[in-house]
A = this chain, B = another copy of it.
Amino acid sequence: MMARGRTRDDEAERRVLDAAFDLVGSRPPGDVGINDIAEAANVAKQTIYRWWPSRTAVILDALVIGTMKETPFRETDDIRADFEAHLRTVIRLFNSPTGRIVREMLAEAQTDEAIANEFRDRFWQPRRDLSHARLVRGIELGQIRSDLDHEIVLDAIYGPLWTRLTIGHLPLSPADAKRITDAIWPGISRD
């Protein structure tokens, strides 16, 4: 038995997500309202709220879907080089329009526990898992010490990226990937 009535307009859904991604990525954080998104997507506001619970949920979807394939992990037998390459990729991502969207979501996450959970589950954790797998692989290969707290190591490696994105005390350049690796690696490498 099929569903009755008019079916969902997948084209409109895509237009909404595209508009959200483009608008939020191209303006200062906080400058994009739900009306802007609806207008840019040529969609009625109600159509948005039929499928998403809130403005923030739309932007989060746009972020997750729009960056699905970004920040892949190189996988060689040189774990240090893999991490350095990955750091460069994330730095480029943070300096792209996506960086603004991440900042906006992070702001919302501070005051909305549900969004915070969804942001972690759908955006943050998958990337974290990839990094963690690479760390474990490095330990297996004997390139990384096995007596460290994995979570702390990952926080130390990626912490500079996140703090510079959110605090903005210093710019984040691709060259920082090497600097971070240089600072961290001697502390976690085996011998």
Contacts and interface: CB of A to CB of B under 8 A. Distances in A.
Interface of A: 28-31, 103-104, 106-113, 116, 120, 124-125, 128, 148-149, 151-153, 155-160, 162-164, 166-170, 176, 179-180, 182-188
Interface of chain A, main secondary structure: helix
B155 A120 contact: no
A152 B182 CA distance: 10
Given A149-B182, A158-B163, A184-B187, 17 more contacts: A28-B113, A29-B110, A30-B111, A107-B110, A110-B166, A116-B168, A124-B169, A151-B170, A155-B159, A155-B163, A155-B164, A156-B159, A162-B163, A162-B167, A183-B187, A185-B187, A187-B187
A94 to B, nearest CB: 13
A160 B169 contact: no
23 contacts: A106-B107, A107-B107, A107-B108, A109-B167, A116-B168, A120-B167, A120-B168, A124-B167, A148-B183, A151-B170, A152-B160, A152-B179, A152-B183, A153-B183, A155-B163, A155-B180, A156-B159, A156-B183, A159-B162, A162-B166, A163-B163, A185-B187, A187-B188
B166 A166 contact: yes
A110 B30 contact: yes
Contacts of A159: 155-156, 158-160, 162-163
Which 9 A-B pairs have CB atoms at the shortest separation, nearest pair first?
Answer: A159-B159, A187-B187, A30-B111, A155-B160, A107-B110, A186-B187, A107-B107, A149-B179, A152-B179
A112 B30 contact: yes
Contacts of A149: 179, 182-183
